[in-house]
C-alpha cells in the first residue's frame, strides 16, 4: 500500500468512528429526552393517581423490551458473519412471537400486581413484540456500520413512542389510550426502520472471504445474549436497591443522588460500544476493537470523574444542604459508572464472539456485590466503597478473559 494511503487510513477510521459515535449518541439522546419529557405532561394532565398507574406501566413495559436489546446484538453479530437478512428477520419474527405470547400471559398478573386496568396493562405490554422487530432492523444497520441511519431510527423510535401519547393526553385521553397510541407510534417507527434498511446494508464479512454461508442462529442464541444484558442491568441497579434497604432514609436519599452521577457516567459513552461492536464480531479485528473501546471509555471516564470532582461543591447549592455529604464522594460515584461502562464493553465482546458463558464472571460479581454491601457498615461511604471494589475486581477479571480467549 502507498505510504500516503496507509497514513490516511487511521485518520479515516477515526473520522468514521467519531461520525458514527456522534450520530448514535445524538439519536439516543433525543430518544432519552423524549422519554423523560413524556413524564412531565403525563404527571400534569393525569393527576397523581392516574400518573402513578401510567409510570408503573411504563416500568413494566421495560421488562418486555429486554429481549429486544439482546436480539439487536445477535442480529448485528450474525450480519457481520454473513447470515442473510431474510434469516435474521425470520429470527426476529420468532422472538417477537415468543415475546407476544409471554406478554399476553403476563397481562392479568401484571394488572393485579400493579392494580391497573387490564386494557391499560395490555396496551403497555403490546409494544414488546414490535420492539423485537424494530431491534432486528436496528441490528442490521449496526452490523452494516450504517450509524447515521441507526441514529435516525433511534430518534424516530423515541419520538414514535412519545409524540402520539402526548397528543392523546393533550386531547384528554386516559392512561390506556395514551399507551395504545404509543404502541401505534412504535409500530410506525418499525415500519420506517424496515424501509430504511431496504437500502444497502451489506459489508465485507467472513462468508465473503470463505464462500460459505453460516447457519442462522436460533432463539436460544438470543436468550443467551439476553442473560448477559440482564446481568448488566442488575449490576447497574443492585447497589441503589441495597442502599435503600440498608441505609437510613436520609443516607439512602443521598446515595440515590450520587447514583445519578454513576448512571450518567455509565450511559454517556454508550455509543462507543455500539459503534465498535461490529468489529468485535469480526475475529480479525476483535481484540483491536476491544482495546479501542476500553481506551476510549477510560479516556472519557477520566474526564467525567474529574468533572464530577470539580462540580461536587455545587451540589448543596443546587439540591440543598441535606446532600452535602455526597460532595466528597461524587467522583467515586462517577468512577463506579465509568467502571461499569468498561465492564459492559467486555460483556459486549462475549456476545460478539458468542461466548456468553463468560457472563458467569459478571453474575459472580453481582453475588459478591450483594454479599460485600450486606457485610459493610451501614454508611453511605461504606456501601459505595464495597460496590466499587467488587465492580473493579469483576471488570479486571472480565478484561483478562476478554484478551486471553482467542475468538473463533
Q: Quick: pLDDT tens for 72-104.
A: 999 999 998 888 888 999 999 999 999 999 999
> Looking at the chain, how many residues does it have?
408
Judged on CB neighbours under 10 Å (0-12, 13-18, 19+), 109 is exposed
pLDDT of residue 204: 45
Tally helices (H) and strands (E) across the chain: 16, 0
How far, in Å, CA of 391 to CA of 362, rounded? 9
Name the residue with higher pLDDT: 212 or 274.
274
Q: Is the pLDDT of residue 15 over 80?
A: no
Q: Is the pLDDT of residue 207 over 60?
A: no
Q: Is the pLDDT of residue 215 over 80?
A: no
pLDDT of residue 9: 41
DSSP string of 35-46, one letter each residue: HHHHHHHHHHHH
Q: Is the pLDDT of residue 2 over 50?
A: no
201 phi/psi in degrees, rounded to 5: -120, 20
How far, in Å, CA of 24 to CA of 13, rounded? 16
How far, in Å, CA of 341 to CA of 399, rounded? 12
Sorted by where each begins, the domain ranges of the chain are 3-198, 225-404
Highest-confidence segment of 57-66, 126-135, 254-263 = 126-135
pLDDT of residue 212: 62
Q: Is the pLDDT of residue 389 over 50?
A: yes
pLDDT (mean) for 32-54:
80
Name the residue with higher pLDDT: 23 or 358.
358
Q: Which of 135, 126, 142, 182 is nearest to 158 (CA)?
A: 182
DSSP state of 328: T
pLDDT of residue 54: 86
User: Which region among 21-25, 201-205, 342-346 has the lowest average model confidence (pLDDT)?
Assistant: 201-205
Name the residue with higher pLDDT: 241 or 74.
74
Q: Is the pLDDT of residue 3 over 60?
A: no
Q: Is the pLDDT of residue 146 over 70?
A: yes
Instruction: Give the three-state DSSP class for 407.
Output: coil
How far, in Å, CA of 104 to CA of 243, rounded? 34
SS (H, E, C) 133-201: HHHHHHHHHHHCCCHHHHHHHHHHHHHHHHHHHHHHHHCCCCHHHHHHHHHHHHHHHHHHHHHHCCCCC
User: Which region among 21-35, 53-67, 229-243, 258-272 has the lowest average model confidence (pLDDT)?
Assistant: 21-35
Name the residue with higher pLDDT: 250 or 375.
375
How far, in Å, CA of 63 to CA of 36, rounded? 18
Question: Cβ neighbours of residue 306 under 8 Å, at least 6 residues apart?
Answer: 331
Q: Is the pLDDT of residue 6 over 50?
A: no
Highest-confidence segment of 97-106, 233-242, 314-323 = 97-106
Q: Is the pLDDT of residue 363 over 70?
A: yes
Share of residues in the chain with pLDDT > 70 (%) = 91
Q: Is the pLDDT of residue 192 over 80?
A: yes
Band the pLDDT of 205: cuts 50, 70, 90: very low
Which cell numbers in the block locate residue 326? 455526597
pLDDT of residue 5: 40
Task: Say how many C-beta atoms besides its own lie within 10 A of residue 383's C-beta.
Answer: 24
Band the pLDDT of 341: cuts 50, 70, 90: very high
- Among left, alpha and beta (phi > 0; psi -120 to 50; other), residue 261 is alpha
DSSP state of 327: T
Average pLDDT over the chain, rounded to an integer: 86
DSSP string of 235-257, one letter each residue: HTTHHHHHHHHHS-HHHHHHHHH
Name the residue with higher pLDDT: 208 or 86.
86
Q: Is the pLDDT of residue 8 over 60?
A: no
Q: Say what the pTM is.
A: 0.82
Contacts 24+ apart (CB under 8 A), 252-260: 253/322, 253/323, 254/322, 254/323, 254/325, 254/326, 254/380, 255/380, 255/383, 255/384, 257/315, 257/319, 257/323, 257/326, 258/326, 258/329, 258/330, 258/333, 258/380, 258/384, 259/333
Q: Quick: pLDDT tens for 285-297.
A: 888 889 999 999 9
pLDDT of residue 81: 87
Band the pLDDT of 65: cuts 50, 70, 90: confident
Name the residue with higher pLDDT: 320 or 235.
235
Band the pLDDT of 337: cuts 50, 70, 90: very high
pLDDT of residue 11: 59
Amino acid at each position: 500500500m502507498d505510504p500516503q494511503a496507509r497514513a490516511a487510513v487511521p485518520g479515516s477510521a477515526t473520522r468514521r468512528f467519531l461520525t458514527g459515535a456522534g450520530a448514535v449518541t445524538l439519536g439516543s439522546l433525543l430518544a432519552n429526552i423524549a422519554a423523560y419529557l413524556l413524564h412531565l405532561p403525563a404527571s400534569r394532565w393525569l393527576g397523581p393517581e392516574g400518573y402513578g398507574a401510567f409510570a408503573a406501566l411504563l416500568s413494566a413495559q421495560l421488562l418486555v423490551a429486554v429481549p429486544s436489546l439482546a436480539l439487536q446484538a445477535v442480529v448485528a453479530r450474525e450480519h457481520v458473519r454473513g447470515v442473510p437478512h431474510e434469516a435474521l428477520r425470520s429470527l426476529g419474527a420468532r422472538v417477537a412471537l415468543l415475546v407476544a405470547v409471554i406478554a399476553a400471559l403476563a397481562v392479568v398478573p401484571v394488572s393485579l400486581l400493579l392494580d391497573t386496568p387490564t386494557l391499560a396493562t395490555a396496551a403497555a405490554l403490546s409494544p414488546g413484540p414490535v420492539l423485537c422487530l424494530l431491534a432486528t432492523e436496528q441490528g442490521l444497520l449496526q452490523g452494516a456500520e450504517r450509524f447515521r441511519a441507526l441514529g435516525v431510527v433511534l430518534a424516530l423510535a423515541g419520538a414514535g413512542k412519545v409524540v402520539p401519547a402526548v397528543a392523546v393526553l393533550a386531547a384528554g385521553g386516559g392512561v390506556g389510550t395514551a399507551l395504545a397510541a404509543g404502541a401505534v407510534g412504535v409500530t410506525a417507527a418499525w415500519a420506517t426502520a424496515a424501509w430504511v434498511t431496504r437500502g444497502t446494508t451489506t459489508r465485507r464479512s467472513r462468508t465473503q472471504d470463505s464462500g460459505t454461508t453460516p447457519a442462522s442462529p436460533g432463539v436460544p442464541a438470543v436468550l443467551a445474549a439476553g442473560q448477559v444484558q440482564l446481568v448488566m442491568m442488575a449490576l447497574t441497579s443492585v447497589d441503589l436497591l441495597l442502599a435503600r434497604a440498608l441505609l437510613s432514609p436520609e443516607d439512602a436519599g443521598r446515595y440515590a443522588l450520587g447514583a445519578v452521577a454513576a448512571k450518567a457516567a455509565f450511559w454517556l459513552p454508550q455509543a462507543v460500544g455500539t459503534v465498535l461492536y461490529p468489529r468485535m464480531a469480526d475475529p480479525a479485528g476483535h481484540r483491536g476493537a476491544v482495546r479501542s473501546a476500553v481506551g476510549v471509555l477510560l479516556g472519557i471516564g477520566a474526564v467525567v470523574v474529574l468533572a464530577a470532582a470539580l462540580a461536587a461543591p455545587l451540589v448543596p447549592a443546587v439540591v440543598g444542604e441535606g446532600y452535602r455529604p455526597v460532595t466528597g464522594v461524587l467522583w467515586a460515584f462517577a468512577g463506579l459508572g465509568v467502571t461499569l461502562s468498561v465492564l459492559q464493553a467486555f460483556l459486549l465482546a462475549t456476545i460478539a464472539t458468542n461466548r456468553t458463558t463468560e457472563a458467569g464472571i459478571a453474575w459472580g460479581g453481582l453475588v459478591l456485590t450483594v454479599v460485600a454491601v450486606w457485610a459493610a457498615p451501614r454508611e453511605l461511604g461504606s456501601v459505595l466503597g464495597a460496590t466499587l471494589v467488587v465492580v473493579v475486581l469483576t471488570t479486571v477479571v472480565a478484561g483478562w478473559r476478554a484478551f486471553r480467549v482467542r475468538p473463533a
